């Protein structure tokens, strides 16, 4: 077992990503992650378990390295987008005892969603490695898992409505980060059409839509 302390959502999501990539390699080969339990401290069997002591991230962009961890925010002028490398540095103690030896293990990850001290999607810094193996769908789910909080708008609408709206925003933001503004705009239009128009199309017919600001024309495609 490997004891995991309480983590902020952005760090926990990145750790899960790193562990999936490094599965089978030290220090997590054939281990079961378990949440820290203060009530068990003092029992020898618990104190002898290996424990995650610290998690930090190194973000490299254009030759500059930024550090991110719990309690440290990224510079406000660090824009969302692609970076050269994101490395998670995992410090693991051999046991939970204060005098126990430890080791640092570095794992490269393809993306990082930084809360940066807040919960607003517009204030979060969303980063992905250039050429990394992550899709807009996967990054969108990371953004959702890290930032969505229904309590922020609990007086506005139902949980389901809030969740769907946030999922769309997260998917569009992820597409923008990975593929650019044009792709994000098309993705937003596609999601809106999927949500609002598809049920209007007859089962055995196809339509074509020509749209611009101020004018939309719709026609059936010939059989």
Residues 90, 112: contact at Cβ < 8 Å? no
Q: Would you say residue 72 has pLDDT above 70?
A: yes
Residues 1, 27: contact at Cβ < 8 Å? no
The residues spanned by each domain of the chain are 135-223
Residue 27 confidence (pLDDT): 60
Q: Would you say residue 73 has pLDDT above 80?
A: yes
Render pLDDT for 184-211 as a digit per residue (tens, 0 to 9).
888 888 888 888 888 898 889 899 989 8
Mean pLDDT rounded to a whole number for the chain? 89
Render pLDDT for 111-140 as a digit per residue (tens, 0 to 9).
999 998 888 899 899 999 999 889 999 999
Hunting for tokens 């339990």 — which residue is that? 37
Residue 199 confidence (pLDDT): 87
Q: Would you say residue 154 has pLDDT above 70?
A: no
Render pLDDT for 166-185 as a digit per residue (tens, 0 to 9).
998 999 999 999 999 998 88
Q: What is the pTM of this model?
A: 0.84
Tell me, letter by letter, the H, E, C secondary structure of the chain. CEEECCCCHHHHHHHHHHHHHHCCCCCCCCCCEEECCHHHCCCHHHHCCCEEEEEEEEEEECCEEEEEECCECCCCCCCCEEECEEEEEEEEECCCCCCCCEEEEEEECCEEEECCCCCCCCCCEEEEECCCCCCHHHHHHHHHHHHCCHHHHCCCCCHHHHHHHHHHHHHHHHHHHHHCHHHHHHHHHHHHHHHHCHHHCCCCCCEEEEEECCEEEEEECCC
Residue 156 confidence (pLDDT): 60
Span of 5-14, 82-91, 143-152 with lowest mean pLDDT: 143-152
- CA separation (Å) from 168 to 26, 138, 148, 159, 163? 37, 13, 12, 14, 9
Residue 151 confidence (pLDDT): 61
Instruction: Please compute the mean of the pLDDT values over residues 90-116 and round it to a whole number.
Output: 91
Residue 161 confidence (pLDDT): 83
């Amino acid at each position: 077992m490997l004891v995991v302390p309480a983590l902020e959502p952005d760090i926990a999501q990145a750790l899960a990503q790193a562990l999936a990539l490094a599965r089978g390699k030290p220090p997590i080969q054939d281990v079961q992650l378990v949440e820290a339990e203060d009530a068990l401290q003092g029992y020898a069997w618990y104190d002898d378990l290996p424990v995650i002591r610290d998690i930090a991230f190194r973000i490299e962009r254009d030759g500059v390295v930024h550090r991110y961890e719990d309690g440290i925010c990224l510079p406000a002028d660090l824009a969302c987008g692609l970076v050269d490398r994101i490395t998670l540095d995992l410090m693991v103690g051999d046991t939970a005892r204060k005098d126990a030896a430890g080791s640092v293990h570095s794992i490269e990850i393809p993306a990082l969603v930084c809360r940066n001290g807040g919960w607003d999607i517009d204030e979060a810094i969303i980063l992905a490695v250039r050429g990394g193996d992550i899709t807009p769908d996967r990054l969108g789910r990371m953004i959702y898992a890290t930032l969505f909080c229904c309590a922020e708008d609990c007086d506005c609408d139902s949980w389901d409505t809030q969740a769907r709206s946030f999922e769309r925003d997260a998917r569009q933001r992820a597409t923008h980060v990975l593929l650019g503004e044009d792709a994000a705009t098309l993705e937003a239009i596609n999601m809106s059409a999927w949500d609002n128009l598809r049920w209007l199309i007859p089962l055995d017919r196809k339509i074509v839509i020509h749209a611009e600001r101020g004018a939309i024309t719709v026609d059936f495609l010939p059989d």
